[in-house]
Amino acid sequence: MKISVIDLGYNSLKLVNYDVRIDNTFSAYSQHSILARLGEGLDKTGFLNDDSIIRTVKALKLLQQTVKFESSAQVLPVATSAVREAGNKDQFLALVSGETGFDFKVLSDREEALYSFAGSYTATNVPAGIFFDLGGGTLEMVIAEKSRVRRVFSTPLGGLRLTDLYATDNGRFTKKNYAKMSDRILELLPDRKELPQLGKLELVGAGGTVRAIARYHQMIIDYPLDKLHNYLMDINSVELIHRTLRKMSPKQIGNIPVIGEDRAKSIVAGSLVIQLMMRKLKIPQLVVSTHGLRDGVLSAFLKDPRAYEKGSVDSILPRLTSDKPVSLSATSSRIIKAFAARDLLDPQEQFILVQALEEAQKLPLYDPETLFYIIANSDSVLTHSEHLLLALSLVRIRGLRGADWLYAKYKDMLEKDAKNTIKRISSMITLIEILEKTGSDLQVTLSAHQIRLRISSGKQDFPTALFKNTLKDFENAFKLEAQFSLTPISSQKPAPEILSSEKS
């Protein structure tokens, strides 16, 4: 089923088309963005001006035809701060409905913040953090721990709004106005002492400015991967980019291909907000999320359409951000737990292995090298280095001859022991796949330098020669001597559980 989400913001208008599967998981397959600048001048008059309304209606008519061409089963139009704050909101919404047929749901600042949080939280692996969405009109912030929302902030610190208030007619900032803007940002940002005491907090950012400065940073350092989601930037990099952009005119910024004309006007102010936020909150690193408001809106609608229409975001949120059940078989889960209990896999390797087994179930049938680039450049809850380990592990079991070359190409992004990690994960994947495909079960016994695997074969013939070859790889990866015994199905008692064994 196809569903479209239209996001009418302060600065831009976005349409995302999603493919929604039968289990309500989804993926975006096309996106369209138009710089409508609906909120331009709103702070000075309190009303949407005629030029902005004309631009927006014209853009919405184009998106209406796009949605019709895509044959979307459902369209979810949402509007944020520009419409929410406008004195002529009702007249504007009536005009849009009459001209385009789109009946926009105007999100409250809390709805906007929480839907954006839901989209980012479920797409990252951040247990406790500050999740923010920096738009053209507002900055929304959610402080959360293990999916529990502890505090929500909404401040009028959007990039376009600040530019309209403090920039000159040519889009640049005088020293005096730049200082005023900085003071205003610091005044409105929360202090660290205002935040719940949750220990170490990570900073996760969504929105066009975040994506633009991350792309620019990747361009500067010649980053080898072609993806933004879960990209990491430290505060020094954010400050360097802001200083560089501040020296440029909007025209010069617009000539940077990864930023473009649409973002050129507001990115100096927007990047200053991010820089000052990191400095004031004493958080040295930014995690970039390309998933936010639109994903959260769609998730809420799919989870409970009636509650979504009523605006009952707080009742839907726990169901959106609860931990996703792992789709592994009982056998796979027991094997992973058994190896982890014997300290053969560290927590990071366990996490990557689980993600790899889930991903292996849906991999397309491509040659291994093409498959590597598909995996490595796709979005994941894993960090980029962890996802590289996953990609290299999966193509290693597909027999990619160039696996070592790919490792050499990306080794600067990986830790020193990465090669052994790849061997451990790939050998575990192969071992589990053999047991799964043959319906076999396994008992594990570990002594000081030896691991014994007792296999109870299933209904399918057990590939003994293939398994022996896998064990050689396994021995090399884990630095253990491996032995196995096979109990044929004809002589089996009921399939045994994996037994715990203490190290001797």
pLDDT, tens digit, 9 for 90 and up, residues 403-452: 778 888 898 999 888 988 999 999 999 888 888 888 888 888 877 678 88
pLDDT at 503 over 50: no
Task: Output the CA torsion 329→331→337→340 (10° steps).
Answer: -110
Confidence bin at 465 (pLDDT 50/70/90): confident
CA atoms within 13 A on the CB side of 358: 15
Q: What is the CATH number of domain 2-106?
A: 3.30.420.40
Phi, psi of 190 (to 5 degrees): -70, 150
Report the pLDDT value the prediction gives residue 326, as an integer from 0 to 100.
62
Q: Which two tokens stand for residue 82?
A: 């520009």
Pick the closest to residue 297 from 114, 155, 32 (CA basis): 114
The tokens for 436 are 């799964």
Model confidence pLDDT, tens digit, residues 355-370: 999 888 877 777 888 8
Q: Give me the DSSP letters along 138-158.
A: -EEEEEEETTEEEEEEEES--
Quote the Cα angle for 385-435-494, to 5°: 140
Q: What is the pLDDT of residue 324?
A: 61
Both structure tokens of 202 = 């990570």
With CA atoms as reference, report the closest residue to 436 among 458, 413, 403, 467.
458
Which amino acid appears at position 284 of this protein? Answer: P
Cβ burial, residue 126 (10 Å; 0-12/13-18/19+): buried
Average pLDDT over every residue of 224-247:
96
Chain centroid to CA 25: 14
Q: How far apart are CA 50 and CA 40, in angstroms?
A: 10
Residue 436: predicted pLDDT = 85
Q: How far apart are the first and last CA of the chain?
A: 56
Other beta carbons within 10 Å of 3? 19
Among 283-287, 359-363, 393-397, 444-448, the least confident range:
444-448
Tokens of residue 447, six digits: 């002594």
Which stretch of 211-225, 259-273, 422-436 has the lowest confidence by average pLDDT? 422-436
473-497: pLDDT as tens digits: 888 888 888 888 888 765 545 444 3
For tokens 């990619």, name the residue. 400
**CATH number of the structural domain 330-491:** 1.10.3210.10
Paired strand residues for 234: 285
Fold agreement (2-106, 110-293): yes
Report the share of the chain in percent with pLDDT over 90: 64
Structure-token pair, residue 303:
């989870």
pLDDT of residue 230: 97
Neighbours of 108 (CB within 10 A): 13
- Tens of pLDDT, residue by residue over 23-50, are 898 999 999 999 999 999 999 999 999 9
Strand, helix or coil for residue 366: coil
- The predicted model gives 237-250 an average pLDDT of 96
* Residues whose CB is less than 8 angstroms from the CB of residue 335 and which lie 6 or more positions away in sequence, other chains included: 428, 431, 432, 435, 442, 444, 498
pLDDT band at 504 (very low <50, low <70, confident <90, very high): very low
Enumerate the domain spans of the chain.
Answer: 2-106, 110-293, 330-491
pTM: 0.89
Measured distance CA(92)–CA(38) in Å, rounded: 11
Report which secondary-structure segment, H or E, holds 288. strand 285-288
CA dihedral for 225, 231, 235, 238, sign (positive or negative): positive
* CB-based burial label for 407 (10 Å; 0-12, 13-18, 19+): middle
Q: Which of 235, 310, 218 is nearest to 274 (CA)?
A: 235
Instruction: For domain 110-293, give its CATH number from 3.40.50.10320, 2.60.120.200, 3.30.2290.10, 3.30.420.150.
Output: 3.30.420.150
Higher-confidence residue of 352 and 198: namely 352
